[in-house]
Chains A and B, each alone.
Chain A
Amino acid sequence: EVVLTQSPGTLSVSPGERATLACRASHSISNNFLAWYQQIPGQPPRLLIYGASSRATGIPDRFSGSGSGTDFTLTVSRLEAEDFAVYYCQQYGSSPYTFGQGTKLEIK
C-alpha cells in the first residue's frame, strides 16, 4: 500500500498570497496518478487536480499541480477567501487507492 504524507499539517497564509502544499509517497506512484481534492467543512471533497498536473473541469487556473515519482506539490496562487479549506492528495496508481492525511490551509 502506498502511504501518502502531506506537509505541513496546517499552513497559515494571507489572502492574495501563494500557498504551496506538499505530498510525499512511500513508493513511486505509477504514471503519476496523483489527485488533489479540496474539502470545505460539511461538504464532500472536490476534485481539483488529476494526473498530478491536470486541472479538473471548472477549476480556476490559480490552482496548479506538479511533481512526479514520490514528490508532488499543489500550488494555490493569489489566495481567495473560498480557498481556505483542507486539501488532500490521493494516489490511484495502485490498489488500494490511498489518501494523505490532509493539509489545513488557514487565513493568516
Chain B
Amino acid sequence: QVQLQESGPGLVKPSQTLSLTCKVSGGSISSDGYYWSWIRQQPGKGLEWIAYIYHSGRASYNPSLKSRVDISVDTSKNQFSLNVSSVTAADTAVYYCARDNRLAPVTRGAFDIWGQGTMVSVSS
C-alpha cells in the first residue's frame, strides 16, 4: 500500500525559502497514471492546492502561488519536493502531499492518498 511522508523544517524565518520533501513508499513515484501534489491548510482554515508534478517533470501550479513556488521530483529517491520562496506569516500552515490518481478520467484531480502533514511556522 502506497504511503506518503512529508518532512520539513518546522520553523522558517520570514523572507527565507521553505523546503519540503514527500517520500513515497509502497509503490513507485514513476508509475504511470499518478500525479503528485502539495496542498496546504492554514490554521483553522480550509485547503489550498499548491502544485502537482508527474514523474516526467511535467508540473502545474496554482496561479496564486506560482511566482514563489517550485515543485520537483527525484525518481531515484522516490520522492518529490516543494520550495516556497520569500515566505511570510501567511505561509504558516500544515503542508500535505497527496496522490492524484489519474488511472480513470473521473478520478483525475481527486486526491486518494494523503500524507499525515507537516506543520510549518513562519516566524522570526
Cross-interface CB contact of B60 among A47, A57, A95, cutoff 8 Å: A95
Nearest Cβ distance between residue B59 and chain A, in whole angstroms? 12
A50 and B47 within 8 A (CB):
no
Contact of B114 among A44, A54, A88, A92 (CB under 8 A): A44
Contact status A50-B117, CB under 8 Å: no
User: Given B45, B60, B62, B110, which contacts A50 in the complex, CB threshold below 8 Å?
Assistant: B110
Q: B36-58 vs A: 1/0 string, CB under 8 Å? A: 00000000011111000000000
- A96: which B residues are within 8 A, CB to CB? 49, 62-64
Are B62 and A51 in touch, CB under 8 angstroms?
A: no
Indicate whether B80 reaches chain A with its CB closer than 8 angstroms: no
Chain A: residues with Cβ within 8 Å of the partner, total of 27
- How many chain B residues have a CB neighbour from A under 8 Å? 23
B107 touches A50 (CB 8 A): yes
Q: How many A-B residue pairs have CB under 8 A?
A: 63
* Min CB gap B24→A, angstroms: 15
Question: Contacting B111 at CB < 8 Å: which of A43, A45, A57, A102?
Answer: A45
Contact A56–B108 (Cβ < 8 Å) = no
Decide if A97 touches B46 in the complex (CB within 8 Å).
no
> A35 an interface residue at 8 Å Cβ cutoff?
yes
Interface residues of A (CB under 8 A from B): 1, 31, 33, 35, 37, 43-47, 50-51, 54, 56-57, 88, 90, 92-93, 95-102
Interface residues of B (CB under 8 A from A): 45-49, 60, 62-64, 96, 98, 105-112, 114-117
Given contacts A44-B115, A45-B114, A101-B46, 20 further A-B contacts (CB under 8 A): A31-B105, A31-B106, A35-B110, A44-B116, A45-B111, A46-B114, A47-B111, A47-B112, A50-B106, A54-B106, A88-B46, A92-B109, A92-B110, A96-B62, A96-B63, A96-B64, A98-B49, A99-B48, A100-B46, A102-B46
